């Protein structure tokens, strides 16, 4: 585990960069996490997905699978891959400040 600073807030992350305490998250932290993985700017669609991820995590203790994400977030598969290239569920979870979804490599 290590600490990173985003928008003046220190957050603890695991070895893969996922936040340990999802309650520290805010949109500025999300923007910083996104930039670290090559997503330069977050738009309303990104935040629609991120908020869905956080809601699912808060209710169930884990992030949704890609299947659930595409079926229930309001964003289709093609858009998800456009927003979060090469692994939408994993990248969205990282930016949303939650743990890696079960089943993600």
100 is catalytic: no
Residue tagged active-site, from 24, 47, 55, 104: 104
CA distances from 22 to 70, 71, 77 (A): 22, 24, 25
State the catalytic residues.
104
């Amino acid at each position: 585990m290590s600490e990173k600073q985003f928008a003046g807030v220190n957050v603890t992350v695991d070895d893969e960069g996922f936040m340990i305490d999802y309650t520290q998250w805010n949109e500025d932290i999300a923007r910083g996490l996104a930039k670290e993985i090559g997503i330069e700017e977050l738009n309303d669609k990104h935040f629609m997905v991120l908020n869905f991820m956080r809601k699912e995590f808060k209710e169930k203790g884990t992030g949704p699978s890609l299947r659930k994400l595409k079926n229930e977030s309001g964003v289709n598969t093609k858009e998800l891959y456009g927003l979060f290239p090469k692994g939408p569920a994993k990248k969205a979870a990282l930016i949303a400040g939650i743990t890696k979804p079960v089943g993600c490599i």
